[in-house]
Amino acid sequence: MASLSLNQIRGKNSVPDFARTRSRTTWARPSRVGFKVFASSESPGEPDLSVTVNGLSMPNPFVIGSGPPGTNYTVMKRAFDEGWGAVIAKTVSLDAAKVINVTPRYARLRAGANGSAKGQIIGWENIELISDRPLETMLKEFKQLKEEYPDRILIASIMEEYDKAAWEELIDRVEQTGIDAIEINFSCPHGMPERKMGAAVGQDCVLLEEVCGWINAKATVPVWAKMTPNITDITQPARVALTSGCEGISAINTMMSVMGINLDTLRPEPCVEGYSTPGGYSSKAVHPIALAKVMNIAKMIKSEFGDKDFSLSAIGGVEEGGDAAEFILLGADTVQVCTGVMMHGYGLVKKLCADLKDFMKAHNFSSIEDFRGTSLQYFTTHTELVQRQQEAIQQRKATRKGLKSDKDWTGDGFVKESESMVSN
């Protein structure tokens, strides 16, 4: 993590063993992780999709976002086999017995007249909680995956109650499995905030700072803080997470939503025994909102933390390589996909990689770093837009088209001068 000293980073409970620290610039990876070297499968001349984030090397920037696509060994193994750059597992907590899911727990929004059954799915609401599988089972599966795929990146997503000892125990237990990094779910908008978890912490910067302090004093692998978009200014918690020692920001989690009301039954969706509760909205419809949040966070990081090596993992409505290119153009290092995998399957990563390579070839970009953050410079304030437009109008008025007078025709420039007055 940037230019802070190890003691500044780790605080009082600093881990004495240098080899287990997690600073990026002074990075010495935990021995269990080892050096991840990828034999490039790219043909010569092909754009290189590989990225290295907080010391973690990935064959491409596409990461399975925490949720159903990372719920168990079978599906996470499938993600690695299909070629995903990294996998973030479904969020775990110490006591899964407290997590009780309902079914149905999803509802979709389709484009087209009256949400026509044939319309494209553009929005997805879920009222799913974090993992309801026993922690011990999940940990065993993380360990098995790391043994079978030692050179692939597995990230544990964790969430706990407002209890320092509980966070410390959870971090210790997930780290013992050999996972490469931790993403903290400060952002689940439904169910968990009732237990002062998830978005309840991410929406309260004082609480967030305290909990991040506990986490960063304990963790020995890189920590990403996952932000909720259900807040007025997302840069505030992102700033707190980074100044409290996290190496990266992930954004966004789902948006609080009510999918709709069934006009026959007058009951809300998703409907459980006739009732519902607001849930989290994801998929294509949230992509523009996610772009705005990611842009704001990227600008804040750039202006306030300069060249410090914080990472940004963008999430929200990615189904095509172009969606990912947009996030990278705004400064994202990696791009997560959750609902897209639920709709299109794990093979989606191949299309995402192919799309992204096509985009890179069209612009002659040979690596992700060649274009990461390029479009950030084109965002400004509305006041500056007005000013720029007024200046442009003045300039257009000043540059009169064609010759001012017939006396200006010349022999040498005659053809060009004629051209300058043609309209089509």
- Active-site residue set: 188
Extended beta strands in 76-213, E state: 86-88, 106-110, 121-126, 153-158, 181-185
Query: Which one of residues 254, 257, 276, 313 is an interface residue with ligand FMN (CB under 6 A)?
Result: 254
Residues 172-191 that bind ligand FMN (CB under 6 A): 185, 188
Q: Identify which range of 120-128, 267-275, 301-309, 398-406 contacts ligand FMN by CB under 6 A.
A: 120-128
Burial class (CB in 10 A: 0-12, 13-18, 19+), 120: exposed
Cβ closest to ligand FMN, residue 22 vs residue 90: 90
How many separate helices (H) and strands (E) can be counted in the chain? 13, 16
Minimal distance, residue 131 CB to ligand FMN, in Å = 7
Minimal distance, residue 415 CB to ligand FMN, in Å = 56
Cβ closest to ligand FMN, residue 167 vs residue 365: 167
- Asked if residue 229 lies in contact with residue 296, where contact means CB atoms within 8 angstroms, the answer is no
Minimal distance, residue 91 CB to ligand FMN, in Å = 4
Q: Does 334 participate in binding ligand FMN (rule CB under 6 A)?
A: no
Number of chain positions touching ligand FMN (CB under 6 A): 27
Cβ closest to ligand FMN, residue 185 vs residue 311: 185
- Asked if residue 252 lies in contact with residue 227, where contact means CB atoms within 8 angstroms, the answer is yes
Query: Which one of residues 1, 58, 130, 238 is an interface residue with ligand FMN (CB under 6 A)?
Result: 130
Minimal distance, residue 113 CB to ligand FMN, in Å = 24
Strand order in the sheet with 279-282: 106-110, 121-126, 279-282, 255-257
Query: Which one of residues 59, 189, 340, 373 is an interface residue with ligand FMN (CB under 6 A)?
Result: 340
Q: Does 203 participate in binding ligand FMN (rule CB under 6 A)?
A: no
Question: Which pairs from 353-356 meet CB under 8 Å and 24+ separation?
Answer: 353/49, 353/60, 353/62, 353/83, 353/321, 354/321, 355/320, 355/321, 355/322, 355/324, 355/325, 356/47, 356/49, 356/60, 356/61, 356/321, 356/324, 356/325
Residues that bind ligand FMN (CB under 6 A): 65-68, 90-91, 124, 126, 128, 130, 157, 185, 188, 226, 253-254, 282-283, 286, 315-318, 337-340
